[in-house]
């Protein structure tokens, strides 16, 4: 499990950078692990953006996020002339994330990546979680 040690006070910023050949949709949520039914969507890319990236966006403060979990879920549909090309492109999908608070910055780059396929379609799901401690 990824963690971010909150050492400073102030705003916490999130940056998500997805690499894919197809359109990507990303959603970020803050989850109180003791009450997951109260999950709150905190960041989504603009509808016109198809890269799934979240540009340095405030997601909360050190006080409100301590003890909470950040979950990001991205989905991309692969584009290519045939299924073999789409499967090859799916293996190139990557996710990089940055959390900033005061003078502390942490980079993360090992999300869980799952490739799913049906008859002709290939989808990639990228999941990143982090606990604020």
How do residues 16-72 score in pLDDT, each as one tens digit? 999 998 889 999 999 988 887 877 887 665 545 678 888 899 999 999 999 999 999
pLDDT of residue 51: 84
Cα-only R_g, the chain:
16
Q: What is the pLDDT of residues 89-119, one digit of tens each?
A: 999 999 999 999 988 999 999 999 999 998 8
pTM: 0.88
- Cα–Cα distances in angstroms (integers) from residue 99 to residues 14, 71, 131, in the given order: 5, 13, 11
List all residues 6 or more positions away from 75 whose beta carbon is below 8 Å from its beta carbon. Answer: 24, 25, 123, 124, 125, 126
Q: Is the pLDDT of residue 5 over 70?
A: yes
Q: Distance between CA atoms of 45 and 54, rounded to whole angstroms? A: 6
The pLDDT, as a whole number, for residue 36 is 75
CA atoms within 13 A on the CB side of 37: 0
Q: What is the pLDDT of residue 37?
A: 81
For residue 3, what are the contacts with CB-CB under 8 A and spacing of at least 6?
130, 131, 132, 133
């Amino acid at each position: 499990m990824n963690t971010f040690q909150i050492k400073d006070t102030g705003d916490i910023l999130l940056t998500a950078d997805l690499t894919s050949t197809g359109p990507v949709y990303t959603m970020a949520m803050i989850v109180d692990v003791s009450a997951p039914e109260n999950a709150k969507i905190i960041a989504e890319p603009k509808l016109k953006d198809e890269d799934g990236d979240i540009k340095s966006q405030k997601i909360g403060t050190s006080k409100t996020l301590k003890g909470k979990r950040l979950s990001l879920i991205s989905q991309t549909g692969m584009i290519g002339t045939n299924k073999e090309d789409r499967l090859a492109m799916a293996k190139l999908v990557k996710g990089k994330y940055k959390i900033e608070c005061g003078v502390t910055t942490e980079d993360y780059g090992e999300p869980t990546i799952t490739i799913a396929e049906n008859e002709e379609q290939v989808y990639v799901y990228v999941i990143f979680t982090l606990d604020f401690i």
